[in-house]
Amino acid sequence: MSELPWRPGSIRRPKPVRTAKIPLTRAEIVRAGLRIVQREGIDAVSMRRVAAEFETGPSSLYAHVTNKDELLQLMFDEVCGMVTPQEPDPARWKDQVKELARTAHQALVDHNDLARAALATIPTGPNALRISNAMMGIMLSGGVPAKMAAWAMDRIFLYITADAYEYSIWRTEVVDAGGQKESYIAQLGEDLVAYFAQLPPEKYPYIQKNAEAMVGGGIEARFEFGLEMLVDGLDKYTSES
Amino acid sequence: MSELPWRPGSIRRPKPVRTAKIPLTRAEIVRAGLRIVQREGIDAVSMRRVAAEFETGPSSLYAHVTNKDELLQLMFDEVCGMVTPQEPDPARWKDQVKELARTAHQALVDHNDLARAALATIPTGPNALRISNAMMGIMLSGGVPAKMAAWAMDRIFLYITADAYEYSIWRTEVVDAGGQKESYIAQLGEDLVAYFAQLPPEKYPYIQKNAEAMVGGGIEARFEFGLEMLVDGLDKYTSES
DNA sequence: TCTAATGGCGAACACCGTTCGCGTCAAGTA
DNA sequence: TACTTGACGCGAACGGTGTTCGCCATTAGA
C-alpha cells in the first residue's frame, strides 16, 4: 500500500525536556515556520532558519518532523485551521461557496507565498478536510450532485491556491522594491501598459489595441471575476432549475 | 522605470568560438534545459546540470543567460512556441477557447513540471504573447467585451498552468514509484478512497459519505470539467444573447 | 549513587546559484 | 609572418540548502 501523506503523530514523542528556551514541540515549530513565511516568504523557511528561531541547529527539528516537506504541509494545515466555515444554508448556497472561497483565499494571502506549498500537495490534513467537508456540504445543500460537487470543489480550491500564489508574487516584487505599495504597483502597471502598447500591431493586434484592458483592474477584482466564472458555470448541474 | 521582464538579447553576443562540442548558444542552452525538465523534472534543472550537458562548468552559462530565472522563462516561452493557435471563427468561439486551452495545457504537461516556472511569472515572452493575442482574438470575435476578455484570458491561463503543475505532481509520484503508471494511480486512488471512507462520519460527514466521488474521474476529465465551468461562466458577458 | 538509555544537536556531505579573475586563444595590425 | 591586444571560457570559491550520523549530556529508574 502506498503511503498516505497525512501522519498526525510525530516520529518520536519527546518529553518536554528542554530547561530554558522555547520548548521545541511540533506545534511550536510549525508556528515558527508560519512567522517566518509571513515575514520573509516561503523561500526563507529553511530548516536552518526555523531552527535558529529556537537558537539551535537544523538537526534538532528532525525529532519532531520527518522532513521539510512535512513541515510545509503542517504549516498549510495550520493555516486551514484559521478558516471557520458556516453552516450550510440551501437558499444562499452560491453566496456561501464564494464566501468560503474568499475566506480561504484571504487566509492564504495573509501568509505570503505559502500557497506554493499548498499547490504541491493533495491536502489531507484535518483542517483542510474540515474546509473541504464544509464546501461539499454547501454544494450538496444547493442541489449539486455529489460527483459534480466533488470536482467543482477540487477546481475551485485549485483556483484559490493558484491565485493566492500569483498574488504573492506581485507582492514580493513590491516588497523587493522597498515598500511604497500603491505607487509601485501603479508604476509596474503603467510599464506593462506601455510595453503592450508598443508591441507591433501587425503581430499582436488584439493585445496591442487593448493594452489597458489587459492590465487594468485590481488583483482582488480579478480573483472575484474568476470565482464568479467558476460558480456561475456550476449552475447548470443543479437539479433544481 | 521598473524593469520589464522580457529582454530578448543576450548580455554578450559571443561569436561561435568553440571548436568541437556543442556550440553553447542561448538557444542550445534553452533546448538542453527543456530536455532535462522533460526527463528529470524542474528541480533537476540546475545551472550545473545544464552546463554538464555541454561538458563545462556553470559559470559558462552566465554569458548567455543573466540567471536561472531568466533561463526558466526562456524555457517556458520556448514551449509556448510549440502551440499554434487557429484563426478566430466567431461561430465556434467557445469551442476555440477550449481548444486553445487544451493545446496549451498539453504543451505544458508534455514538459513535466515546467508549469511551476510559468506560475511564478507574468508571461511577456513573444511566444506567450502570440498565444494571449490569439485567445484575445477568439473571445473578441465571440462578442466578449475587451475588459472581460482580458480578465477571462488571465483566469483561464492561470487555471491551465495550475492544473498542469498539479498534474505533474501526480506523475512525479508515479515515476518515483518506478513506473507501472496505471496500476500505481489506481492504487493511490484506492488508498485515498479508503482514507476518506475511514474518516469519522460525525466530523467529516460529506467527505466520508462521498469518498468515491471525491477521488473518482481521471485527471484529464477534471481539467475539462473546470475548463467548462470557466467558459460557461463567461457566457453572460457576450453582447449577443 | 550508579547505570542505562534517550533525545538534543555539532559537524559533515553533497548539492545549490552566483561571482571573480586567471589564462588561453583568436583577431587585428605592422 | 610575428606581435599585441582584448575578449571570452570556465575553475575555484562563497555562502547558502536538506538531511544524516554519532557523540554527549541529562534524566529516569534501580
Q: So what's the pLDDT on residue B231? A: 94
The mean per-residue pLDDT over the stretch B205-212 comes to: 96
CB of B60 lies under 7 Å from some atom of strand C? no
Query: What does the buried/exposed string (b/e) look like for B196-211 if buried means 16 or more CB atoms within 10 Å of the residue's CB?
Result: bbebeeeebebbbbbb
Nucleotides of D under 7 A from a protein CB: 7-13, 16-22, 26-28
Lowest mean per-residue pLDDT among A2-11, B98-107, B211-220, B227-236: A2-11
C-alpha cell at B3: 524593469
Q: Note which residues in 96-115 of chain A have CB less than 8 A from chain B.
A: none
Residue A63 lies in a domain: no
- Report DSSP state, residue B127: H
Query: Which of A21, A142, A126, A10 is CA-nearest to residue A63?
Result: A10
Residue A164 lies in a domain: yes
C-alpha cell at A1: 500500500
Number of domains in chain A: 1
B20 against A48, higher pLDDT? A48
- Residue with smallest Cα–C1' gap to D7: B14
How buried is B105 (Cβ within 10 angstroms: 0-12 exposed, 13-18 middle, 19+ buried)? Answer: buried
**What is the percent of chain A where pLDDT is above 70?**
85
Residue A239, pLDDT above cutoff 50: yes
Lowest mean per-residue pLDDT among A165-174, B16-25, B180-189: B16-25
Query: Which of A5, A2, A55 is CA-nearest to residue A28?
Result: A55
CB of A17 lies under 7 Å from some atom of strand C? yes
Q: So what's the pLDDT on residue B10? A: 41
**Whole-number Å distance between alpha carbons of A64 and A91:** 45
Q: Helix, strand or coil for residue B143?
A: coil
Q: Note which residues in 41-60 of chain B have CB less than 8 A from chain A.
A: none
- Report DSSP state, residue B43: G
| Distances from the Cα of A37 to the Cα of A118, B31, B58, angstroms | 13, 34, 30
Average pLDDT of chain A, as a whole number: 87
Element spanning A80, H or E: helix A68-80
CB of A58 lies under 7 Å from some atom of strand C? yes
pLDDT band (50, 70, 90) for residue B23: low
| Distances from the Cα of A7 to the Cα of A4, A140, B47, B58, B61, angstroms | 8, 29, 35, 40, 43
Residue B121 lies in a domain: yes
> Which residue of chain B has the CA closest to A156?
B226
Instruction: For helices A146-176 and A181-197, give the axis angle rounded to 10 degrees.
Output: 100
Q: How far is the CA of A125 from the C1' of C9 (A)?
A: 30
**Interface contact flag, B233 A236, Cβ < 8 Å:** no
The mean per-residue pLDDT over the stretch A5-30 comes to: 57
**B202 alpha-carbon distance from chain centroid:** 39
Residue A46 lies in a domain: no
**Interface contact flag, B230 A229, Cβ < 8 Å:** yes
A71 against B178, higher pLDDT? A71
Query: Which of A165, A138, A141, A136 is CA-nearest to residue A153?
Result: A136
CATH number at residue B200: 1.10.357.10
> Which residue of chain A has the CA closest to B132?
A207
**Interface contact flag, A2 B231, Cβ < 8 Å:** no
Tell me which chain A residues have a C-beta less than 8 angstroms from the C-beta of B141.
none
What lies within 8 Å, CB to CB, of B66 at 6+ separation is: B7, B11
**What is the percent of chain B where pLDDT is above 90?**
68
Residue B114, pLDDT above cutoff 70: yes
Residue A191 lies in a domain: yes
**Whole-number Å distance between alpha carbons of B161 and B116:** 8
> Which residue of chain A has the CA closest to B220?
A151
> Which residue of chain A has the CA closest to B228?
A233
> Measured over all CA atoms, what is the biggest interatomic distance in chain A, rounded to whole angstroms?
72
Residue B4, pLDDT above cutoff 50: no
**Interface contact flag, B206 A137, Cβ < 8 Å:** yes
User: Which residues constitute the domain of residue B205?
Assistant: 84-237
The mean per-residue pLDDT over the stretch B154-179 comes to: 84
Q: So what's the pLDDT on residue A185? A: 77
Average pLDDT of chain B, as a whole number: 87
Lowest mean per-residue pLDDT among A44-53, A83-92, A174-183, B220-229: A174-183
Q: How far is the CA of A120 from the C1' of D21 (A)?
A: 30
CB of B68 lies under 7 Å from some atom of strand D? no
pLDDT digits (tens, 9 = 90+) for A209-228: 999 999 988 889 999 999 99
pLDDT digits (tens, 9 = 90+) for A55-73: 999 999 998 999 999 999 9
Tell me which chain A residues have a C-beta less than 8 angstroms from the C-beta of B214.
150
pLDDT band (50, 70, 90) for residue A3: very low
Q: Which residue has the cell 533546448?
A: B31
Residue A120 lies in a domain: yes
CB of A15 lies under 7 Å from some atom of strand C? yes
Q: Inform me whether the C-beta atom of residue B154 falls under 8 Å from chain A C-beta atoms.
A: yes
Continuous H helices in chain B: 26-40, 47-52, 68-80, 93-109, 115-119, 126-141, 146-176, 181-197, 205-209, 211-215, 219-234
Q: Which amino acid is at A239?
A: S
- Report DSSP state, residue A56: S
Residue A125, pLDDT above cutoff 50: yes
pLDDT digits (tens, 9 = 90+) for B124-155: 999 999 999 999 999 999 999 999 999 999 99
Residue A170 lies in a domain: yes
Residue A118 lies in a domain: yes
Q: Inform me whether the C-beta atom of residue A152 falls under 8 Å from chain B C-beta atoms.
A: yes
Transcribe A147-183 into DSSP letters. Answer: HHHHHHHHHHHHHHHHHHHHHHHHHHHHHHTTS-HHH
Answer whether A110's CB lies under 8 Å from A152's CB: no
